[in-house]
Chain A
Amino acid sequence: MSHGSSRVIVTVIGQDKVGIIANVSAVLAEAGANIIDISQTTLREFFAMIMMVDLENATQPFDEIKRRLKAKGDEMGLRIDAQHEDVFKFMHRI
């Protein structure tokens, strides 16, 4: 990342099922990404899991992690995104 912070927000949206956290965590662990926090909620009828992840010591570039998360999401029938935390900081904090 070219920015000051190395934190990204990973969001997982879809039908709730067994193994979501385990699978997503495995992809992140493999990339050397450190999960700082996890929370979950519902978005209309869907399940949503939100992770704050630090990529400071990641062994893979952000693009690659994002690609792998998306592939895992496709495999599990979930929508998985990763966005730099600045998006949320800019929108919700003054």
Chain B
Amino acid sequence: MPMQFSAQEIIETIRMVQMDKLDIRTITMGISLRDCAHSDIAVAAAKAYDKICRKAGDLVRVGDEIEHEYGVPIINKRISVTPVALVAEASDSHDYVVFAQALDRAAKEVGVNFLGGYSALVHKGMTGGDRALLASIPQALSSTERVCASVNIGTTRAGINMDAVALMGRIVCDTARLTSDRDGLGCAKLVVFCNAVDDNPFMAGAFHGIGEPECVINVGVSGPGVVLAAIEQEPNADFGQLASVIKRTAFKVTRMGELAGRAASAKLGVPFGIVDLSLAPTPAQGDSVGRILEAMGLERVGTHGSTAALALLNDAVKKGGAMASSYVGGLSGAFIPVSEDIAMIEAASLGALSFDKLEAMTCVCSVGLDMIAVPGDTSPETIAAIIADEAAIGMINRKTTAVRIIPAPGKTVGEMVEFGGLLGRAPVMALHPYSSKVFIGRGGRIPAPLQALNN
């Protein structure tokens, strides 16, 4: 039988993996913990621990097996669980830290590096359980290693819960203070969302949404390096051709995610959820979304034209990826975290990339203000106002936006914050010096926007 593939096709795949860092960024198992509720929080935590260990016991082994068989690296195996506020609320206790610690132990036991879902959905208001969970976030994140927290404070349909926004400003600052010995690392594991999605496989914002099945496999692909290499081969392409190049590349990258997801689903006997078509950078050279924008012809990411370049990239990634997978979901687009992207780190250090430009770019990127270090003395009200601005962008534009911001303890503008590993390093960026305190102090909700008269 003749070979079904041309040598060029085979070499292209090999090159993508070996030279351009194509990888499956994460296989994330979503696990419902709704049946773990109990009036005694310790019993609920123990039930959650047992269930995670039972469901995800083979996750890492299967991930490694797939990596081996297909020769495509699978960087992370992770777990998302039902927003813990929904589960812990049935208990008499108001101290949920013990639940977070049980999740941390479970993550270590099954060998995943992050577990998401220490979360609450409070876009329209808070229950007692939501309040207890939010209050416990700083302690939970400082006393665990692998647990990630997220809070949804707004949606396009409900508006923005500004009481929760004000509270999150304080929680972000408290979390930074409790992890000040690690440059405020706790804040790298805390995401504040508007329009959070139920099936996001990426950390730190992953949780297993309430419409999800008992257990599910979601896959997050990556491949900024592959897109960069493809663009570099077309230095004279106009924008239409550029979009086509990105679409073709995104299609191929996403097919790998589809393959890995189907294989993991079959091997684990767990339904396949979605492929998240995201370009997720890492701090490694050649794995940068910022470099893609620069390859389009910008001297540095953050200069004028960056928003347009990112809009083209984000849309082309979605168009190409959508054709490649039966089920697309999650966040799907290009991430622009500062500390996890070498070009963004450089541009921010040089002053080429400002906080305000980042905010503008989040109007067209897949998520939002991500992994940005700001001065340690930033007030809770200013953090809350940043969250409110970002949530407003999401609410009005019917997209997911998020804030993952680190008020770096004891550090000022220009100093570096070091998180290490995939979380990278970031220069402390300048914020506006004027106060938003009175605005944030008003409280209440910003009403849901009109769904017509769009201008």
Which chain A residues have a beta carbon within 8 Å of chain B's beta carbons? 1-3, 9, 11, 13, 36-37, 39-41, 43, 48, 50, 52, 62-63, 66, 79, 81-93
Contacts and interface: CB of A to CB of B under 8 A. Distances in A.
Interface in B14-46: 14-15, 18
User: Which of B15, B68, B69, B252 has the most chain A CB atoms inside 10 A of its CB?
Assistant: B69
A43 B2 contact: no
B452 interface: no
A89 B72 CA distance: 14
Contact of A50 (B10, B70, B72): B10
Contacts of A90: 255-256, 258-259
A5 to B, nearest CB: 10
A83 B7 contact: no
A37 to B, nearest CB: 4
Contacts of B451: none
Contact of A83 (B1, B8, B69, B258): B69
Given A50-B7, A66-B68, A92-B5, A43 B14 contact: yes
Interface in B184-208: none
B9 interface: yes
A48 B5 contact: no
B69 A62 contact: yes
Nearest to B70: A87
Contacts of A36: 1, 3
B71 interface: yes
The 6 closest A-B pairs by CB, nearest first: A83-B71, A37-B3, A41-B7, A90-B259, A90-B255, A92-B9
Contacts of A83: 69-72
B61 interface: no
B4 interface: yes
A37 B18 CA distance: 23
Contacts of A82: 71
Contacts, number: 80
B11 interface: yes
B267 interface: yes
B259 A41 contact: no
Nearest to B14: A11
B13 interface: yes
Contact of B3 (A2, A3, A13, A39): A39
Contacts of A89: 4-5
A13 B7 CA distance: 12
B14 A84 contact: no
Contacts of B15: 43
Given A36-B3, A52-B3, A90-B256, 7 more contacts: A11-B14, A39-B7, A41-B7, A48-B14, A87-B13, A87-B70, A87-B259
B76 to A, nearest CB: 20
A33 to B, nearest CB: 15
A91 B72 CA distance: 12
Contacts of A52: 1, 3-4
Contacts of A92: 5, 9, 12-13, 252
Contacts of A9: 5, 10
A70 to B, nearest CB: 11
B2 A87 contact: no
B70 A91 contact: no
B71 A87 contact: yes
B283 to A, nearest CB: 26
B70 A86 contact: yes
A11 B18 CA distance: 12
A63 B64 CA distance: 12
Given A9-B5, A37-B2, A88 B13 contact: yes
A92 B248 CA distance: 11
Contacts of B255: 90-91
Most buried by B among A1, A52, A83, A85: A83
Contacts of B252: 91-92
A86 B71 CA distance: 11
A88 B72 CA distance: 11
Contacts of B68: 63, 66
Nearest to B66: A84
A30 to B, nearest CB: 21
A3 B70 CA distance: 11
Given A83-B71, A87-B71, A88-B13, A37 B256 contact: no
Contacts of A88: 4-5, 9-10, 13
B70 to A, nearest CB: 5
